[in-house]
Structure 1
Amino acid sequence: MNDTLLELQALGLELPSPAYIFGAIVFGLIGLVAWRLGRKQGNRRQLWLGVALMLYPYLVPGTVWLYAIGLALCGGLWLSR
């Protein structure tokens, strides 16, 4: 198993850290709630911020960036209330 991990790392593929996985799940759940409430209330800004919160973890490579962007998007949700 250790050889497989070394081969994947040699190819440039690394497993995400537990902090990254936790952040992706938390921000994804916040995005899901925001999307559902935005759709229900007809608030387009909240709806699209929810979509962004659900999808951006797939595009962000680092844990620091994940939390920085996630907090910024959550701040946008807070201001759009």
Structure 2
Amino acid sequence: METTDIFLALLFGCVGFGYFMHGRRTQNIVTRYCGIAMILYPYLASSTWELLAVGVGLILAPRFIEI
């Protein structure tokens, strides 16, 4: 694992924790599950570009998905 991958995993994990806490506090299920996904997906990503693309997608998902 390269330094970039470790930094991105830490960054998206911290943002995911914030999303999870915000989603739990506001009862927003999309934000909550995007936060959980951001915490867990870095363990499954195989490349830096995949890590970055999925992370940005999960950050933007609550803005466009309304339930």
Larger Rg, first or second structure (1 or 2):
1
The reply to whether residue 21 of structure 1 matches residue 11 of structure 2 is: no
TM-score, normalised on structure 1?
Answer: 0.76
Question: Is the Cα–Cα contact under 8 Å of residues 46 and 80 in structure 1 kept in the other structure?
Answer: no
Letter in 2 for 1:18: T
Pairing of 1:46-65 with structure 2 (within 5 A): 46-65=31-50
Q: How many residues matched?
A: 66
Q: How far off is 1:80 after superposition?
A: 4.7
Letter in 2 for 1:40: R
Letter in 1 for 2:28: N
Q: Which runs of 5+ in 1 are unaligned?
A: 1-15
Q: Percent identity?
A: 32
**Per-residue CA distance 1:37-63 (angstroms, 9 max, x = gap):** 000110011000000000000011111
Letter in 2 for 1:66: L
